[in-house]
Every structure is written in structure tokens, then in C-alpha cells.
């Protein structure tokens, strides 16, 4: 692919982004349908399967980049993707309506716990980036990569326990959290593929997975070539353009969830996906044959901090519950846009 002309590379990248968008929508719907029929999310193995299905674009790019030794692009996409995907909540806020911000409507504290899990996992990433390569287990896997997976698993267990048996109660007048999970029937919408057989839904799911994986590889290869020709650092390209392309399915599913009134699910899905995708550092270590976290550098450290700041803004918004919108956005979304813009400007100013 490196031999293709630049216009053709742009076309390949755009086609990969489009395929990711379409397949991501189909993947989200089929995953929901299979979850309802098999109760996948009730057990930890099911939760893991659902998390992998939701991060297939990032998985494909991480595998392709690590296999080629392009560790900066892999790390930039994983870490920078947190900030970009958190900004999907701006679109969800727009879809929530003119009168009340999304964070006011959420009316549940579970997304706050999911946001805190993101903060804890990102902290593990930042600490792991400071470890020397000599600390790697067997010279291959960073201890921090293992710790990230352990922390994520523990956080999921705690959050699910709180969701099933909350030990607090609160009054949130005017809130519209929606369903507690996607297995609950929606009063105003039929469940996706409700009239299709399970075998056909599983076939759609497998096809969507295959398309997403192929599109992810195409995105990684074309992104690497375009970044090199444009003289753009792989971390910056992976954290902005590439992360935006892989966030397209989240925009679609988040917008659809808010339109159905599932406001808490929309925010929780974003935070949940962000926490899980950092677990892919363990896979990147195994494929690359060396620890990836020590190669992240100051650019990824900046991006990780930006992701934490944006997560904190929306988690704080859920607790503070801003009442009014300005130009269809809550104050937390406006603050998030300002922080994200400042973060991108600062990223460009950092020494490469």
C-alpha cells in the first residue's frame, strides 16, 4: 500500500472509514440482539465478548500496527481514542434536545463509576509508561499492561454489582435515564432483528466483524503511509484523524440511544468502551514482542491527561446536573469542547 499514490491512499482511508461506520452500526445492533437472546452480559465472559465487539476497529488497528512495529500509531490510537470518543458525548448532548443537557437527563450514578474506572485505568497507563523496558515480564509484556486488564475486570465486577443491587437511593427530579441495560425491552421501539432467526443474526454479526477487521487494517496501513508523507507524527495522526474514524460507530450508536431516551446507557457505553480499549495494550505487547507502554512518550502522556480531563468534566456534569442548554449544549459539553481544542493546540506545540 505504500506504493499507492496519495489520492488513492486518501480513497482507501475514506473507504475504510465508511466501511467502519456501516459495519459498526450493524455490529452494534446484532450485538444487542444476541445479548438479549443469550443474556451475554450477565456473566463476565459475556461482558468481555461484548466489549471486544464494541472495540473491533481499535482491535484491528492495534494488531496491524503492532505487527508492523509501528508502536507509536498503535499507542496513539488507543490513548488518543479516549479523548476523541469522549467527545462523542457532545453529539449525544446535541441529540438530547434544546431544553435540558444530557448530563441532567442521565439521572444515574453508574456512568460516574464507569468514568472513574476510565480515570483509574488511564492512571495505570501513565505509570506504566514510566517503567523501564527491563521491567517487562519475560522481556515482552509490561507489568502495567497486565495490571490494566486486572483493574478493568475488577471494575466491571464492582459496577455490575452496583447496577444490580444499588446500596444508595437519590431523587433526581426531571431525569430520564432510560433502560438500565439493553436487554430490557424498550416501550417505544422494537428490538433490532426481532423477527430474524438467531442463526441469521449470528451470520450478520460475523460478517460485520469481518468487514470491521478488514477496514481496520486498511485504515492502519493507509494512515501510516499518509502520516509519513505528510510529515505528521504517528501519535498525533493516530490520536486525531485515525481515532476520529474509529469513533464513527460510537457516534451512530450514541445518537440512536439518546433518541430512544437511553441517556444513561449512551454515556455509560462511551466510558465503558474507553476503559476496555486500554486493555488492548496487553495484546499489543504480545504481538510486537516487546512492551509498548514505555514507547508512548510525552505526546501520549498529554493525550491521556486530556482524556482524563474530559471524562472528569462529564462525570462531574452527571453529579452537578446543569439545568439549561446554550445552543443545544450543556455547560459541560461547552467546557469539554474548549478543553479538547486547547489539548489539540498543546499537542501540536509539544516537541515531537
Of residues 185 and 14, more confidently modeled? 14
Q: Helix %, strand %, coil % for the chain, to 5?
A: 75, 0, 25
In this predicted structure, which of 125-129, 142-146, 252-256, 331-335 has the lowest mean pLDDT? 252-256
Q: Which helix (H) or strand (E) holds 225?
A: helix 198-230
Determine the average pLDDT of the residues in 117-128. 95
In a domain, 330, yes or no: yes
Helices assigned H by DSSP within 263-330: 263-277, 280-288, 297-320
Give the total number of structural domains in the chain: 1
101 phi, psi to nearest 5 deg: -65, 160
How close are the terminal C-alpha atoms of the chain, in Å? 26
In whole angstroms, what separates CA 189 from the centre of its chain? 25
In a domain, 182, yes or no: no
C-alpha–C-alpha distance, residues 304 and 307, integer Å:
5
Strand partners, 141: 137
In a domain, 234, yes or no: yes
In a domain, 143, yes or no: yes
In a domain, 187, yes or no: no
In a domain, 327, yes or no: yes
Determine the average pLDDT of the residues in 73-84. 86
How much is the pTM? 0.89
In a domain, 191, yes or no: no
- What is residue 312's predicted lDDT score, i.e. its pLDDT? 97
Segments forming the whole domain that contains residue 333: 6-174+196-349
Amino acid at each position: 500500500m505504500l506504493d499507492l499514490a496519495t489520492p488513492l491512499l486518501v480513497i482507501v482511508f475514506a473507504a475504510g472509514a465508511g466501511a467502519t461506520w456501516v459495519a459498526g452500526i450493524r455490529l452494534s445492533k446484532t450485538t444487542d440482539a444476541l445479548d438479549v437472546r443469550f443474556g451475554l452480559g450477565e456473566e463476565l465472559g459475556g461482558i468481555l465478548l461484548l466489549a471486544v465487539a464494541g472495540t473491533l476497529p481499535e482491535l484491528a488497528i492495534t494488531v496491524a500496527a503492532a505487527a508492523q512495529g509501528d508502536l507509536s500509531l498503535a499507542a496513539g490510537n488507543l490513548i488518543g481514542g479516549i479523548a476523541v470518543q469522549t467527545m462523542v458525548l457532545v453529539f449525544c448532548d446535541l441529540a438530547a434536545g434544546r431544553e435540558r443537557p444530557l448530563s441532567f437527563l442521565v439521572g444515574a450514578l453508574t456512568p460516574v463509576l464507569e468514568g472513574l474506572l476510565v480515570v483509574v485505568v488511564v492512571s495505570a497507563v501513565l505509570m506504566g509508561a514510566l517503567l523501564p523496558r527491563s521491567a517487562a515480564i519475560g522481556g515482552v509484556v509490561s507489568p502495567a499492561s497486565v495490571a490494566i486488564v486486572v483493574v478493568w475486570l475488577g471494575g466491571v465486577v464492582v459496577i455490575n454489582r452496583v447496577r444490580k443491587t444499588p446500596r444508595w437511593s437519590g431523587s433526581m427530579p426531571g431525569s430520564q435515564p432510560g433502560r438500565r441495560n439493553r436487554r430490557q425491552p424498550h416501550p417505544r421501539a422494537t428490538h433490532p432483528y426481532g423477527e430474524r432467526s438467531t442463526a441469521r443474526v449470528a451470520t450478520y454479526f460475523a460478517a460485520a466483524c469481518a468487514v470491521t477487521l478488514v477496514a481496520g487494517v486498511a485504515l492502519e496501513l493507509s494512515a501510516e503511509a499518509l502520516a509519513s508523507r505528510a510529515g505528521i507524527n504517528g501519535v498525533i495522526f493516530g490520536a486525531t484523524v485515525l481515532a476520529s474514524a474509529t469513533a464513527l460507530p460510537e457516534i451512530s450508536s450514541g445518537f440512536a440511544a439518546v433518541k430512544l431516551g437511553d441517556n444513561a446507557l449512551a454515556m455509560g457505553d462511551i466510558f465503558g468502551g474507553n476503559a476496555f480499549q486500554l486493555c488492548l495494550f496487553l495484546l499489543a505487547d504480545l504481538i510486537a514482542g516487546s512492551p509498548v507502554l514505555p514507547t508512548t512518550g510525552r505526546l501520549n502522556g498529554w493525550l491521556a491527561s486530556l482524556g482524563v480531563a474530559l471524562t472528569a468534566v462529564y462525570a462531574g456534569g452527571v453529579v452537578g446536573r446543569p439545568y439549561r442548554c446554550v445552543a443545544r449544549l450543556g455547560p459541560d459539553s461547552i467546557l469539554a469542547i474548549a478543553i479538547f481544542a486547547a489539548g489539540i493546540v498543546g499537542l501540536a506545540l509539544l516537541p515531537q
